[in-house]
Amino acid sequence: MAEQQQGVEIPRVKLGTQGLRVSKLGFGCVLLTGFYNEPVPEDVGISIIKHTFDRGITFFDTSDIYGPKTNEILIGELKYQQGIKKLQITECDSPGIGATLSP
């Protein structure tokens, strides 16, 4: 018997003062690049980010401390592969960077 996946709508919240709206639930990218563990292969990292994005997560917590621009490159590659038209990058706190994808 196949299990049916029920969709859950992830609420959005306003971030900052310029009208940026992001998912209330974010995804921390720290475990993708080997900060606490071995880094995942690039294709696996992209697949994980795609999986979360496909389920409504549009806020990805990244930082240079996890690896210089490593997570941002994974997000950019997903944007390229999927033809995502809008990518908003916001610097939240130096050296941290947050990325928001919009379908």
> Between β-strands 26-28 and 59-63, what pairing exists: parallel, antiparallel or unpaired?
parallel
**66 carries an active-site annotation:** yes
Burial annotation 45-56 (CB, 10 A radius, 16+ → b, else e): bbebbbebbeeb
Among residues 57, 59, 66, 67, the one annotated as catalytic is 66
Catalogue the active-site residues: 66
